[in-house]
Amino acid sequence: MDTLTRLQAFVAVVEAGGFSAAARSEGRSKALMSKYVSELEEELGARLLSRTTRNLSLTEAGEAAYDEARLILQRIGALREKVEATHVAPRGRLRVSIPRAIGDLDLGRAVMAFLAAYPDIDMELSLEERFVDLVEERFDVAIRIASLADSSFIARKLAPFRVAVGASPATIARHGRPEHPGELSALPCIIDTNLVSRHQWPFSAEGKRQYVSVSGRLTANSPAAIVTAVRAGLGFGRAPWVSMRAEVEAGRIVPLLEEYEIDDLGVYALYPHRERMPAKLRAFIDHMAAWFEGERAAGRSY
């Protein structure tokens, strides 16, 4: 039996907290996992684990061996990944979660372009506003709009993300143009219930985040519906810029309070920690990053 297999078994036992749990996770028998670890101890000439009927702990030599073994396995995984990238086409099934707010718009085109470029990849695409549990629901990757990435996952920022306030020319003519966010409290507003803040709209004022209480006749859980209502003159709305951009360019909506917009939101690709990133996942994330870069180069912000 080769040393690499023994190292893998040893690391699996340590991280699983026991032989039985490691055997289940590795799809091997408990006896075989014990055999591999014993052979590694014999090969290294040192006891790595202290075993009792109830407890399993690392010896001093075992702690040193574990740290080195993890590094060795990570380097081998990275080597395999680089070699595979030169000759193995990405393939397999990807489960992807994207917020409907952007998945129904331009981002959908990026996903379809990815599938056209990688015919050996199948995709299950979930468009919804909730934050899915990547591990429990077995998603490979989620595109999320956030101010801070979840530290329990690996996060790659794909692009800044803008949320803007706007109104129709008719609404501004009727109610006036607000010059400070606080004025919105006395104006009719349209509430997007997808946004975490909802009735408390955040703004950046004097270098700090401040919240303004807003209210109005209409609430909706669709950015497209918010933009339609703003265009129809029903009030002042706050929505993702990507949803509002075309109406602004056509002159049907006027962006407001731009100097007070918060600027720490971003579009992130989040995925669980893995020692080796599958080629299909790397291809998807690289594709999305390149797509957002192309959008920025063309002057289309998010």
Q: What is the mean pLDDT of the chain?
A: 86
Q: Would you say residue 22 has pLDDT above 60?
A: yes
Minimum mean pLDDT range among 155-159, 167-171, 255-259? 155-159
Residue 208's SS3 state is: strand
What percent of the chain is predicted at pLDDT more than 70? 92
pLDDT of residue 1: 55
- Return the number of other C-beta atoms located less than 10 Å from residue 301's C-beta: 14
Q: pLDDT per residue over 231-263, tens digit each?
A: 999 999 999 888 899 999 999 999 999 999 987
C-alpha separations of 231 from 153, 218, 236, 301 in Å: 39, 14, 9, 20
Compute the residue count for the chain.
302
Structure confidence at residue 203 as a pLDDT band (50, 70, 90): very high
- CA dist 187 and 202 (Å) reads 16
pLDDT of residue 17: 85
Where do the domains of the chain lie, and which CATH numbers do they carry? 3-87 (1.10.10.10), 92-161+265-297 (3.40.190.10), 163-260 (3.40.190.10)
pLDDT of residue 284: 94
pLDDT of residue 132: 76
pLDDT of residue 275: 57
Structure confidence at residue 81 as a pLDDT band (50, 70, 90): low
DSSP letter string, 69-126: HHHHHHHHHHHHHHHHHHH----EEEEEEE-HHHHTTHHHHHHHHHHHH-TTEEEEEE
- Taken in order 105, 106, 107, 113, is the CA torsion positive or negative? positive
Q: pLDDT per residue over 174-200, tens digit each?
A: 999 999 999 999 999 999 887 777 899
115 within 8 A of 160, measured Cβ to Cβ: no
Q: Whole-prediction pTM value? A: 0.63
Mean pLDDT of 200-211: 89
Q: pLDDT per residue over 95-152, tens digit each?
A: 999 887 676 666 778 899 999 999 999 999 888 777 777 777 888 899 888 776 555 6
Q: pLDDT per residue over 41-56, tens digit each?
A: 999 999 999 887 677 8
- Return the number of other C-beta atoms located less than 10 Å from residue 221's C-beta: 14
pLDDT of residue 84: 63
Q: Would you say residue 14 has pLDDT above 60?
A: yes
Question: Which residues, including other chains, have CB under 8 Å from residue 31's CB and lie 6 or more apart?
Answer: none
